[in-house]
Amino acid sequence: MSTRDVLMVADLVGVAVFAASGGSAAVAKRFDVFGVVFVGFVAALGGGVLRDLFIDVVPPVAFADWRYSVTAAVASLLVFRFHPQLVKLRRSVLLLDAAGLGLFTAASTLKALEAGVPAVGSCIIGMITGIGGGLARDILTGEIPVVLRREIYAVAALLGAIAVAVGFQIPVPDTPLMLASAVFICTVRVVALRRRWDAPVARPDPGA
């Protein structure tokens, strides 16, 4: 299996995991089967579509390559069908979600850098790709985005994106750079979950 194949498999695993997170949120809101697939689809592919618009990959790969949408649809349907059993899998899902965050952020930062976007912009595009799907999922289901509330999530993505941008200047070869950054993001996220790390919160002004 070539490096390219490894990356493709990793990408589709990320799509499946994010689709499952979106599908679960939609089931909990009692959406119908199509709503569950739709939210799963947006959670899995929304960030990547935005990224492709930003770096002028048109049509976005999520529409150009059928494997992306089929993977997202199948994962969402499995969640719809087998949801009751999924609670027991919650821990695995959180782990896989962290893996997806890492892979999406690292791969997208690299794609943006290779498309000629400057370093700061590439980091932001990479982070948006990683967190964008969860953001869309929360907006569609009427929640204030969890990623913006009390957890180390986007911060982990941003740190990993910066690592990719720094390595890209040195330069470190692409594939190890991407995989190491993905593992780094995933590790920070998992450790933060276990230790219940939170980023600081401002005290709102009592007079506001």
Residues 6-35 that bind its own copies (CB under 8 A): 26-35
Out of 78, 86, 89, 172, point to the residue binding its own copies (CB under 8 A).
86
Does 89 help bind its own copies (rule: CB under 8 A)?
A: no
Does 70 help bind its own copies (rule: CB under 8 A)?
A: yes
Report in angstroms the alpha-carbon separations of 21 from 5, 79, 104: 25, 9, 15
- Pick 59 or 176: Cβ nearer its own copies: 59
Candidate ranges 5-13, 62-70, 169-177, 181-189; the one touching its own copies (CB under 8 A): 62-70
Binding positions for its own copies, 112-131, rule CB under 8 A: 112, 115-122, 124-125
The owner of tokens 């890209």 is 168
The CB-of-13 to its own copies minimum distance in angstroms stands at 20
CA gap 143, 8 in Å, rounded = 32
Binding positions for its own copies, 138-197, rule CB under 8 A: 139-145, 147-151, 154-155, 158
User: Which of 109, 137, 108 is CA-nearest to residue 22?
Assistant: 137
The CB-of-177 to its own copies minimum distance in angstroms stands at 20
Q: How many residues bind its own copies (CB under 8 A)?
A: 72
Q: In degrees to the nearest 10, what's the CA dihedral of 126, 129, 132, 134?
A: -110
Phi and psi at residue 166, to the nearest 5°: -65, -45
The CB-of-176 to its own copies minimum distance in angstroms stands at 26
At 153 the three-state DSSP class reads coil
Candidate ranges 48-56, 161-169, 176-184, 188-196; the one touching its own copies (CB under 8 A): 48-56
Q: For the chain, what's the residue count? A: 208
Which amino acid appears at position 99 of this protein?
Answer: A
End-to-end CA distance of the chain: 59
CA gap 170, 19 in Å, rounded = 35
Does 199 help bind its own copies (rule: CB under 8 A)?
A: yes
Candidate ranges 9-17, 47-55, 171-179, 188-196; the one touching its own copies (CB under 8 A): 47-55
